[in-house]
Amino acid sequence: MRNQRIISSTFLYLLSIIALVAFIFPFVLLIINSFKSNGEILTSPFALPEKLDFSQFIEVYNLMNFGVTFTNSFIVTTLSTFFIVFFSAMAAYHLVRRPSKFNKFFFTVLVASMVIPFQSLMIPLIYIYGAKLQLIDAIPIPLLIIFYLGFGSALSVFMFHGFIKAIPIEVEEAAKIDGCSTLQTFFLIVFPMLKPIAVTISILNVLWIWNDYLLPSLVLNHPDVYTMPVQMKVFNGTYMNNWELLIPAILLTVIPILVMYIIGQRSIINGVMQGSIK
Amino acid sequence: MMKKRKNLGDIGNSALFLGPTLLFFSMTVLLPFAYGLFLTFNKMDTPADPVQFAGLLNYISAINDQEFWKSMWLTVRFVVATVFFVNLVGFGLAYLVTSGLRIQNTLRTAYFTPNLIGGLVLGYIWQFIFVQSLPALGTKLGISWLELGWLGDPTMAFWSLVIVTIWQTSGYMMIIFIAGLISVPKELIEAAKIDGAGPLKRLLNVTLPLMVPSFVVTVFLSLKNAFMVYDLNFALTAGGPYGTTKMVSMHVVNKAFIESNYGTGQAEAIILFIIVAIVTGVQVYTSKKMEVQA
Amino acid sequence: MFHFKSNTGFFKKTAIVGIVTALSLSLAACSGDSDQSASGSKDSKISIIVTNGKGEIDAQFKQTAKDFMAENKDINVQVESVAVGDPMNVFDKLTASGKTVTMAMFSPFDATHKYKEVGMDLSGEKWNEETNDAIKSEDGTIIGFPFAIEGMGLVYNKQVVEKAVGGEFDPYSINTQDKFKELLDKIKSSGVEYPVAYQTEAWSVSNHYSSLFLNQSEDPNTVLKEVTDGKFDYMKNDVWNGYYNTMDILASEEYNKFGKRPTGQYYDAAHVAVGNGDSAILFNGNWAFDSLKALEGSDFGFMPVPVDNDPENPLNNKIIAGPTQALVINKKATEEQQDAAKKFLDWLVYGEAGQDFIVNKSQIISAFKNNPNKVTNPLGIAISDALVENKTLPFSTNYINTGDWTTILGPEVQKYIAKQSSRADLAKAFENYYKSNKE
């Protein structure tokens, strides 16, 4: 019995280490190749670099216009996420507490909209806001944020909705009696209670928006407004086959989100877990 | 009088609380969806042309577009393969990291990492692996099937897409499964143990049935992701070799924005929507039913 | 982001409007200074705007403009380069913002198609005496100054080939398909298992390789006309078939390093293999040197792509070379500006500093016989030598719509290479393409 346990736990360890290697080796491969010259990369991708030379990173940093691109991604991601969380919480609160016919109907529409593929919306989207209203080139970044607010609302409202349903209404009623308006009640009493689910929703939205490519590629047509994935795509097109530049570029694109993950891994994993239960 | 004021206040509150979401949702989802439907019944060679009623013309050309159905069929195969493997691997990982190994938190963190990276960048990373690294390894070790790049062969390119999708998303499914696994009551497992059920039996008869709610979520997510895959497809194979890995999403994008065939492209996008809606609808419905029975 | 079909105009137009707004805002923000100097009305100085389509030589180009201005005090040259990674055309941007670009750099195809209304007649310019590569519009008028020459053919590794033939190797001695095969066999028996490393990127097999057949008439436009009119019978054309016979050799399991699975992304692998001598031959242009030189110490050259067994056939004895960037002077510029631009062109051809800029500083192969400088890149040297010895054919890629060819015909050629379609299928694909796109 004891032996069997040891064997089975050794087996589990072995399996998990194999999986670990499979999940980590692409990152290791990128890091070791980011310091090499093109020739070394192509002839021996698995060898360790001879020296730690950061000059390619500096070159790529400049070529990618990293400061501007990172700022664009940062602005789009944080503003979109902030407003999604804020507006969705308010909407979900209203939908739960005021179950009028219209509100019930709207909630159903929101939930149902989650099965609409983005591909079914993108052509009219570009058609309306590009060709007809000419907004895509006038205000690309604000427009992109507005699009994220629209596309992000369904899932976020849905998740807040489930969470708010479980909050007892008595607290709010007490606040009302004390003379709080609906708005005050929401911000002073309800919103603080939503923190766990708000964290979850923020994480999901940040991961999605930071990495999204197709929508920004349709909206952002000028280098000054590129986000990281769009810049990466253009960079890949320009320096096709030039791996000594491409690999550092990939790393520079990935590092910000990895840093965020290393700092907040516990809340990120817990956040995703929370989200799935609802 | 009183009542009226209260109503007004209600409307004000509604506008305040629901207004922003209603506005942005309508702008980006409802309006384009309705307008998109409208456009499919009209002729739209260039957006500058006046709108001209065209009946079902766009749908007819979509239905006659063999490339579209080819890409749809490829997407369906991709969906089947990824939904199966992503859930299998995801569940396996969840099982591993809840089985009491001392390093399980580290493992969990590591397995989740690929989710942080978008499909586009992942595509470039794995292109480097499939095109440069594995062939170099194959040459060095004399493994002939590794020597030539994977993306040059239609079948291997397809499986490359599947492998990267598994690698990217199974960590996410793992987290959802962990949430399900830790909510399985310990007593039930112990009871089964006392009844003499082996580990496999316990897994099949006790744990899995209780995991159905998790599977509803993971299958839904993996289905939807697989049907809509674009970024990875674009960055890893770009539809190649010779157009054999062009998924439906890429077909629609190309149809509209490269071939400038907006009408047919949008009609195909609507057909895609209908298929996705039916498949996910059926999936959620049947699995909810299973959940009740279990 | 997407390479929208150039003739739709939809996205272009919306893009342009946006840019105009953005530019007019930014112009309003800074003083009107730059604007005025560009239109050149203020003082006696003539101001011209020149666009540079080769972003990689931005610094050199700006320096040369400075040198030119130092010699010509009455002219002010403003250089606008394509930003690296920017898909938008500088010319469109500037024009949309209300400026007049005096001289623009276009690809020859764009100069004679998309922007055919832009270029003025340059037939009377003196520099025409020094070059055969000026860009002609459809009616034969010279409208483009050949800025950069590039060439392509079969790139070979000198050391490997010389070892196989046992001594000095003359690339032009391989002027029939049989001799080519013989050479491949020699290389094979010298111990190189796969003499060819054939990379099959869509742009290479379509834009470059599949346009070669246009050179069967002295002016590629003659054949092109038959093709676009739908009168060209591919299957009955010996040259068209001949090039695919040669392609069959290049892609074959017998000679090709990747022959077992010929359509992969082998650009890097092929160049590394030829660069370090694991293979000897690949098909590409002089820009391939950047990828080859990753491996040090070897020397390289070009040989013609053989199309049949007639040693007298010029196609078998010449490599492909021609202008890939052209400078065009805008009809809409003022006469003074046009004259200033012409002066700048003369300076590039006849001025010592101008000649130095093109060849030594920018490593570009000059289209002009009088330029005494030589590039240091061995593939570039091979091309400039061929130009001097009159061993070149027109750069056939200049005659086709490369965007469409890559996306539409590229996969068709790859399918043929992978033996997923027959040559008749391939001919059909070309036919269908030209049936639906009359350009």
CB C273 within 8 A of CB C279: yes
Query: Pairing mode, if any, of strands C300-303 and C142-157?
Result: antiparallel
Give the CATH number, domain containing residue C256: 3.40.190.10
CB A158 within 8 A of CB A114: yes
- Average pLDDT on B184-194 reads 82
| Overall domain count for chain B | 1
User: Chain A within 8 Å of B31 (Cβ-Cβ)?
Assistant: yes
CA C240 to CA C220: how far, in whole Å? 13
User: Chain B within 8 Å of C269 (Cβ-Cβ)?
Assistant: yes
Contact C269 B242 (CB under 8 A): no
Q: Which of B257, B248, B210 is nearest to B229 (CA)?
A: B248
* Residue B49 pLDDT: 59
Contact B133 A16 (CB under 8 A): no
DSSP state of C176: S
* Residue B46 pLDDT: 57
CA C103 to CA C68: how far, in whole Å? 15
Show the domain range for B242.
62-293
Higher pLDDT, C41 or A138: A138
**Of C385, C409, C427, which residue sits at a domain end?**
C385
CA C255 to CA C252: how far, in whole Å? 6
Candidates C4, C265, C418; nearest CB to B257: C4
Band (A68; pLDDT cuts 50, 70, 90) = very high
CA A268 to CA B111: how far, in whole Å? 13
User: Chain B within 8 Å of A44 (Cβ-Cβ)?
Assistant: yes
Query: Pairing mode, if any, of strands C319-329 and B42-43?
Result: unpaired
How high is the mean pLDDT of chain B?
Answer: 85
Contact A43 C18 (CB under 8 A): no
Candidates A116, A119, A261; nearest CB to B113: A261
Candidates B26, B96, B171; nearest CB to A16: B96
CA C259 to CA C263: how far, in whole Å? 9
- Please give the share of chain A, as a percent, with pLDDT higher than 90: 36
Q: What is the dihedral of CA B11, B13, B17, B20, to 10 degrees?
A: 50
* Residue C245 pLDDT: 96
CA B275 to CA B73: how far, in whole Å? 12
* Chain C residues near residue A39 by CB distance under 8 angstroms: 272, 294-296
Distance from CA of A125 to the nearest CA of B (A): 5
> Hey, of A80, A82, A119, which one would you mutate to test binding to chain B, going by the most B CBs within 10 A of its CB?
A119
User: Chain A within 8 Å of B11 (Cβ-Cβ)?
Assistant: no
Which token pair is A1?
Answer: 């019995």
Higher pLDDT, B3 or C65: C65
CA C346 to CA C48: how far, in whole Å? 15
Residue B8 has pLDDT above 60, yes or no: no
> Hey, of C26, C84, C88, C298, which one would you mutate to test binding to chain A, going by the most A CBs within 10 A of its CB?
C84
Strands of chain A, DSSP E? none
* Residue B48 pLDDT: 56
Residue B30 maps to a domain: no
Distance from CA of B266 to the nearest CA of C (A): 16
User: Chain B within 8 Å of A88 (Cβ-Cβ)?
Assistant: yes
- Domain locations in chain A as residue ranges: 55-277
- Please give the share of chain B, as a percent, with pLDDT higher than 70: 93
Candidates C11, C258, C411; nearest CB to B243: C411
* Residue C21 pLDDT: 40
User: Chain A within 8 Å of B120 (Cβ-Cβ)?
Assistant: yes
Which token pair is A14?
Answer: 């072995």
Residue C369 maps to a domain: yes
- Please give the share of chain A, as a percent, with pLDDT higher than 70: 97
Q: Is C230 helix (H, G, I), strand (E, B) or coil?
A: coil
* Residue C294 pLDDT: 56
Contact C18 A221 (CB under 8 A): yes
CB C145 within 8 A of CB C325: no
Distance from CA of A12 to the nearest CA of B (A): 7
Which token pair is C96?
Answer: 């949309």
Band (A276; pLDDT cuts 50, 70, 90) = low
Residue A69 host element (H or E): helix A66-97
CA C393 to CA C320: how far, in whole Å? 5
Averaged over successive runs of 10 residues, the pLDDT of chain C (439 residues) comes to 35 40 37 38 76 82 92 91 59 74 90 88 93 87 93 94 92 95 95 93 92 92 90 94 96 92 86 89 89 72 95 94 92 93 94 92 89 89 89 91 84 93 94 77
* Residue C253 pLDDT: 93
CA B135 to CA B124: how far, in whole Å? 16
Q: What are phi and psi of A98, to 5 degrees?
A: -125, 75
Residue C1 maps to a domain: no
Indicate the angle between helix axes B154-182 and A2-33, nearest 10 degrees.
Answer: 130
Calculate the CA C348 to chain-centre distance. 20
Residue B9 has pLDDT above 80, yes or no: no
Distance from CA of B84 to the nearest CA of A (A): 18
Half-sphere exposure of B157 (CA within 13 A, CB side): 26
Candidates B47, B239, B242; nearest CB to C418: B242
Q: Is B56 helix (H, G, I), strand (E, B) or coil?
A: coil
Query: Pairing mode, if any, of strands C392-393 and C319-329?
Result: parallel
Query: Pairing mode, if any, of strands C135-136 and C142-157?
Result: antiparallel
Query: Pairing mode, if any, of strands C103-106 and C281-285?
Result: unpaired
Which token pair is B237?
Answer: 């194979």
Distance from CA of A54 to the nearest CA of B (A): 20
Clarify whether residues C308 and C332 are in a common domain: no
Give the CATH number, domain containing residue B261: 1.10.3720.10
Instruction: Say which residue the tokens 């606008």 belong to.
Output: C80
Contact A39 C84 (CB under 8 A): no
Distance from CA of B89 to the nearest CA of C (A): 29
User: Chain B within 8 Å of A235 (Cβ-Cβ)?
Assistant: no
* Chain B residues near residue C265 by CB distance under 8 angstroms: 127, 131, 149, 151-152, 240
* Residue B50 pLDDT: 66
Exposed, middle or buried, C353 (CB in 10 Å: 0-12/13-18/19+)? middle
CA C361 to CA C352: how far, in whole Å? 12
Q: Which of C81, C70, C129, C131 is nearest to C354 (CA)?
A: C70
Residue C3 maps to a domain: no
User: Chain C within 8 Å of A138 (Cβ-Cβ)?
Assistant: yes
Instruction: Say which residue the tokens 């070309």 belong to.
Output: C430
* Residue C17 pLDDT: 41
- Subunits with 3+ Cβ pairs within 8 Å of A are B, C
Clarify whether residues C82 and C168 are in a common domain: no
DSSP state of B257: I
For residue B177, give every residue at least 6 positions away whose Cβ sits within 8 Å of its Cβ, in sequence order, or none: B90, B91, B93, B94, B95, B211, B214, B218
Q: What are phi and psi of C52, to 5 degrees?
A: -115, 115
Half-sphere exposure of B209 (CA within 13 A, CB side): 11
CA C298 to CA C158: how far, in whole Å? 7
Calculate the CA B110 to chain-centre distance. 22
Clarify whether residues C269 and C197 are in a common domain: yes
CA B273 to CA C29: how far, in whole Å? 46
pTM: 0.81
Residue C391 maps to a domain: no
For chain C positions 229-258, those within 8 Å of chain B (CB to CB) are 258
* ipTM metric: 0.88
* Residue C431 pLDDT: 93
* Residue pLDDT, tens place only, B221-263: 899 889 989 999 999 998 878 889 999 999 998 888 777 778 8
* Residue pLDDT, tens place only, A148-171: 999 999 999 999 998 888 888 888
Clarify whether residues C370 and C404 are in a common domain: no
CB burial string C376-400: b at 16+ within 10 A, e below = ebbbbbbbbebbeeebbbbbbbbbb
CB atoms within 10 A of CB B128: 22
Distance from CA of C35 to the nearest CA of B (A): 32
Tell me the CA distances in angstroms from A157 to A146, A161, A164, C98, C333, one per residue in order. 16, 6, 10, 47, 58
Candidates A38, A131, A134; nearest CB to C294: A38
Higher pLDDT, C245 or B2: C245
- Please give the share of chain B, as a percent, with pLDDT higher than 90: 36
CB A51 within 8 A of CB B140: no
| Overall domain count for chain C | 2
* Residue C30 pLDDT: 33
Beta-bridge mates of residue A160: none
Contact B25 A113 (CB under 8 A): yes
Band (B47; pLDDT cuts 50, 70, 90) = low
User: Chain A within 8 Å of B265 (Cβ-Cβ)?
Assistant: yes
> Hey, of A16, A236, A255, A268, which one would you mutate to test binding to chain B, going by the most B CBs within 10 A of its CB?
A16
* Residue B261 pLDDT: 79
Smallest CA–CA distance from A242 into chain B, residue: B128
Phi-psi region at A16: left, alpha or beta (left = phi > 0; alpha = psi -120 to 50): alpha
CB C60 within 8 A of CB C362: yes
Torsion over CA: A97, A103, A104, A109 (sign):
negative
Clarify whether residues C29 and C121 are in a common domain: yes
Contact A233 B120 (CB under 8 A): yes
Show the domain range for C123.
10-148+323-385
CA C309 to CA C292: how far, in whole Å? 30
CATH 1.10.3720.10 fits A55-277, yes or no: yes
Instruction: Say which residue the tokens 């990276």 belong to.
Output: B117
Residue B64 has pLDDT above 80, yes or no: yes
- Average pLDDT on B133-145 reads 82
